[in-house]
Each structure stands twice: as structure tokens, then as C-alpha cells.
Amino acid sequence: MDIDTIGDWKRTDDCGSLRRDDIGREVVLIGWVNRRRDLGKLIFIDLRDRFGLTQIVFDKESDAISHERASILRNEWVIAVKGEVTPRVAGQENPDLPTGDIEVKVNELKILNETEVPPFQVNGKIDASENLRLKYRYLELRRPALFHNLVMRHKIALSIRNFLNTEGFLEVETPFLAKSTPEGARDYLVPSRINKGSFYALPQSPQLFKQLLMMAGFDRYFQIVRCFRDEDLRADRQPEFTQVDLELAFVDEDGIMDVVEGMMVDIFSKVLGYGVSRPFSRIEYNKALDLYGSDKPDLRFGMELVDVSDLVRSSTLKAFTKVIGEGGVVKAINVKKGASFSRKELDELSSMVTDTGAKGLFWAKLRPDGWQSTLNKFVPPDSRSALEERLGAVEGDLIIFVSDMANVAGEALGRLRIEIGRRLGLVKDGTYSFVWITRFPLLEYDEDEKRYVAVHHPFTAPLEEDIPLLGERPEAVRARSYDLVLNGEEIGGGSVRIYNIGLQDQIFRILGLGNEEAKEKFGFFLEALTYGAPPHGGIALGFDRLVAIMVGAESLRDVIAFPKTQRATCAVTDAPSPVGRDQLAELGLSVL
């Protein structure tokens, strides 16, 4: 095969831009062969680049040489053509293509590259296995769907930068070669050659650096920044991911939420043309668990959890009375028009409940002739009508009960709520519902480590009114923290920070961090607190997740150009990989 060089040809137009107005122009197009239709003396090719498709025509009658050469072209070859933009034969326009009114009649062809048979069809509708799509990512990226996601990602990032710039934020880069600190996720470590036996850690977030920038008087900082956490992956979790990291001085919760809400409204309007209404609703953490059994509730539909313990206390059902006697609860949801659920579906829901560790589920279908339920013989009629009234249940509805300790029952019903919402199609595509979840607990007791750990991070300020509780009941202290939840997914979390050295010391002590260790791990930070630290706070938003929701992707992999597999490997390059002995020796390392 003879391959041509491009010579002095210059591309005059991309493959998505030619229109009727261009008819008569002599153009040079370069791109990939998306599809060929060889009719014998006439060959059509859809030429593709990232901007679109343009049909080019090789006509034996008008240019026998190019036509002859074109007969060997195959999908995914790279070609350049010179030719004239002509109108398509009347009635042969293609309304599905923006360029469908015209075609380019070729009078000179250059073949710039040929190709092996690709491992999957770039132009096809069929999706190859994720395996192949990841390994040959550069081919997958030629396909419009994934490419579109990355364009959206770019647009969203651009909107964010523009918005924050207008609001007076400075983008500042912080180190990737950072210090390993206790608390939080497992670190990715980087060995130091110059200081053998010592390690950098890749940042889980720029948390301390951005607080130092506040102490430096930067006032408003942001960064769209890569973060690293060496934990197991999920569809919504990558080991390296991108945060929109913000920090502001001299603000409280309201000031921070205000900026973020403004930013979200701006992005959704500019990128999706979608109107988000402000202010976002706010629900305190405890209330969210009560009403939705989740700290990231999807508020696109209702179906709230209702405590009915008092109404069934006098029933004769042990599963209810025993749990209540032990301090548990009976909670219920009303599934509107749910009486049509089949026995099989209810069994599936029931097994979901047992999977979460809850003891099981009872249900009642509201039929015209009364309840269809095993509860009938245990719950007297007047209790039944009281339940119906509290749940707002009417004929055709389905009431689902779960009894257990409050947190277990809540979680179980919370999951049911989401699953039922999905099954009943209560969630419309293309709708977005934001909610702030506020006042998380500051600390929780870790049974494994036998100590308190920070729910958010150790620099989060406690609610002022709860500070007196720090000594006696640390777990009861609420934090000045907030998560931003979009469509039932956590897309960000932040807090007002501690800026007082005494309070920070106290928190470290409660976390079981001795003076020595605190000094060794966080000494630089504690010292910084003594040199005039301003009140400040901030938030980190999961950029990949935000993009995924906005483009409707199911996995973060679909909004990242070169993502990691679930085993945290790079399918393209095969990283991580062993390194030679020399390289290890230079670092003073050996492998166990």
C-alpha cells in the first residue's frame, strides 16, 4: 500500500461545518473513513472528524484516478480530499446530518494512513465489552457518545472557572507530593529518592493547603484538582478523581452555600439550559435519616418514612411489640398505587430488606374490601384506619412496614424507597433536585479502633451550642458541616473550619491524637493557627460525579478520558506494573 504524505495541503474546513452556502467552494477535508458505500462507478464515503460527518463522492466519470484509488479505502483509514462542495441531487439530501444538503465531489485523494481491523466497530451502534472499550480507549473516544461526555466536562469546568473568577476566587495549585497524615482514606505513597525511607503521599484533597491559603489572606480560593484515595472502587468512585475545591475566609455556612448555589444555577443554565431554583432546600442530618432513611435523599419524589410505633404498640404482633419494647421503632412508607405489586415483587423487596440486616418486612395492600395483609389478624381495624390516616393511604395503595432499631429500619426503608421509586418510574430523566444536608455529627465512635473518629474531617468546627457536650457526649456534638446532594447522590461536602488553636487541640485529643503525634503530623498546621488565622470554611465538590449526573452517565468511567478499572489498573497502559531492581535500589526499597 502506498501511503501519501500530506504535502502542502491545508485543511480548509472540518467535517461538520459545510452548508449550502459553501456550494461552489474548493475545499480540503481531512478525516477518518466512517463508512463507505461502494456502488461501483460511484463511491460514497462519510468522512468523520470530531466536528461531524461530511459525505464525499468519488465519481469514475469525472475523476477516474481518484475513483480507482478510493475503491481500496476501508473504515477508519485516514484520508485527505480536495474537491468541490456541490448540492446533493434533489431528493437525496440527508436530513439527519447537519451537512446533509451538500457533498464534496472529490478530484484528488490522499491516503494518509490505513488501519488494522479495529477490535470493535467504531461506527457501529453495538457497544463492545467494557474491557475492550477501556483497552482501546482512543478508539472508543472516536465514538460520539463518549466524546460528547468529555465536551460537556470541558464546558462544565469552563463555566465553573468563569463563575468563580467573577466571584473573586483565585485558582491556586497545591502540591501533589504531599505529606501522609492519619485519618481518612488510605494514602497513595510515593517514595523519596533523596530521602530514602521517607514517603510523600498523594493528596486525598488539598484540605490543609487551602486552609493555609486562608491564613495567607487569599480570601477566596478555588482549584479544580485531582485527588487520590487508595480505596476499593465503585461505579461512582475512582482512585484518582477531580474535585472543585473551594475555601472562603470570613464566611459562615450561608456564605459558602450561597456561592455554591449560585455556581450550580449558573452551570446548569449555561451548559444544560436548565433552570435550577434557589435557595436549595436544607434538611438537618437527623431529619433526613428520619424522613428518608438516608443522608443523601433523592427528593425528586416523596414517599417519606413515617414512624408508626405508637399506632402498632398495642398490636399482637411480636415482630412489632418486641422491637418497640427493646427501644426500636416500626416505620412505614405508603407506596401510592402500589397495591398492584405482585407477590414476587414484594418478595424481592423483602429480601432487599433482609440484605440490609433488618429483620423483615410486612405489607398491606389496600383493597376495596379492606386490607390484604398478614397483619389483619394482629392489627385491629381502628388501628388500621389510624395508620391509613397518618400515611395518607387510600384504596389502591400499598403500605410497607419495617421494624427494627431506628437506624436499621430507616436504612432498610430508605433503600426500599429508592428501589420502589425506580420501579414505579417516579423519577423523570432530565430533572434535577438539589438539597443540602446539614449538621452532621462531628464525631462517631469507631468500634474497631476503639476511639472517636471525625465524620467529616478533624478540622470541622462543632456547632457553638454543642461545644459544651464535647467532654461528656462527643457523639452528640453536631458539626457545622453540610453535604450537597443532587438526585440522591452526594456531590459535595464541606464545613466551617476550626480556626482556634485551643479548640483544634481539644478535637485532636478527643480523636486520641497525642501531643507528640499531633505535633509530628500536623505541627505545621497547628503552628499556622497561632499566627492570626481568619474564620473560614469551604467545600469540595465531586466534579466527576457532577458531570456524570449532568450527562446521564451511569459510571464515572464514562466521563473520564482514561479511567481506572475496578481493580485500579489502567487498561490502556497496564499500570501499575513491576519495576526493575535498579529502580527500587535507587529508592532504597525492596519488595516483600
- CA dist 349 and 380 (Å) reads 25
CA-CA distances (angstroms) from residue 309 to 312, 319, 336, 366? 5, 12, 21, 20
Contact 116, 82 (CB under 8 A): no
For RNA, give the closer residue by CB, 101 or 266: 101
Which of 382, 567, 578, 591 is in the footprint of RNA by CB under 7 A? 567
Three cell numbers, residue 34: 466512517
For RNA, give the closer residue by CB, 42 or 585: 42
Contacts by residues 123-128 (CB-CB < 8 Å, ≥ 24 positions apart): 123/34, 123/35, 123/48, 123/75
For RNA, give the closer residue by CB, 267 or 455: 455
When asked if residue 272 is in the footprint of RNA (CB under 7 A), the reply is no
The CB-of-415 to RNA minimum distance in angstroms stands at 9
When asked if residue 205 is in the footprint of RNA (CB under 7 A), the reply is yes
For RNA, give the closer residue by CB, 1 or 194: 1
DSSP SS3 for 11: coil
- CA dist 97 and 101 (Å) reads 8
The CB-of-151 to RNA minimum distance in angstroms stands at 22
For RNA, give the closer residue by CB, 89 or 592: 89
* Cis peptide bond N-terminal to 279, omega within 30: yes
Main-chain dihedrals φ then ψ at residue 171, nearest 5 degrees: -85, 120
- In degrees, rounded to 5, the angle at the alpha carbon of residue 39 between the alpha carbons of residues 33 and 45 is 15
Main-chain dihedrals φ then ψ at residue 532, nearest 5 degrees: 80, 60
Q: Look at strands 240-249 and 220-228 and give their pairing.
A: antiparallel
Which of 98, 184, 191, 262 is in the footprint of RNA by CB under 7 A? 184
Contacts of RNA in 475-534 (CB under 7 A): none
Contact 434, 264 (CB under 8 A): yes
Contact 417, 333 (CB under 8 A): yes
When asked if residue 282 is in the footprint of RNA (CB under 7 A), the reply is no
The CB-of-568 to RNA minimum distance in angstroms stands at 9
CA-CA distances (angstroms) from residue 163 to 193, 419, 568? 41, 36, 34
The CB-of-239 to RNA minimum distance in angstroms stands at 9
The CB-of-248 to RNA minimum distance in angstroms stands at 17
Which of 457, 478, 480, 536 is in the footprint of RNA by CB under 7 A? 457
For RNA, give the closer residue by CB, 50 or 88: 88
The CB-of-266 to RNA minimum distance in angstroms stands at 26
For RNA, give the closer residue by CB, 25 or 186: 186
**Interaxial angle between packed helices 144-166 and 253-267, expressed in degrees from 0 to 180 and rounded to the nearest 10:** 140
For RNA, give the closer residue by CB, 158 or 185: 185
For RNA, give the closer residue by CB, 183 or 307: 183
When asked if residue 346 is in the footprint of RNA (CB under 7 A), the reply is no
Euclidean distance between the first and the last CA atom of the chain, given in angstroms as a whole number: 52
Q: CB under 7 A: which stretch of 4-12, 51-59, 262-270, 310-318 binds RNA?
A: 51-59
Q: CB under 7 A: which stretch of 234-242, 282-290, 329-337, 393-401 binds RNA?
A: 234-242
For RNA, give the closer residue by CB, 139 or 265: 139
The CB-of-566 to RNA minimum distance in angstroms stands at 3
- CA dist 163 and 173 (Å) reads 18
The CA dihedral of 235, 238, 435, 487, to the nearest 10 degrees, is -20
CA 434, 440, 442, 446 dihedral sign is negative
Closest CA to 126 of 140, 109, 105: 140
Which of 66, 75, 309, 504 is in the footprint of RNA by CB under 7 A? 75
**367, containing H or E segment:** strand 361-367
When asked if residue 456 is in the footprint of RNA (CB under 7 A), the reply is yes
Which of 137, 143, 229, 545 is in the footprint of RNA by CB under 7 A? 229
Contacts of RNA in 95-134 (CB under 7 A): 96-97, 100, 103, 117, 119-121, 124-132, 134
For RNA, give the closer residue by CB, 43 or 366: 43
Chain positions contacting RNA, by CB under 7 A? 35, 37-42, 44, 46, 55, 57, 59-61, 74-75, 88-89, 92-94, 96-97, 100, 103, 117, 119-121, 124-132, 134, 183-186, 204-205, 207, 229, 231-237, 453-458, 555, 557, 565-567, 569, 571
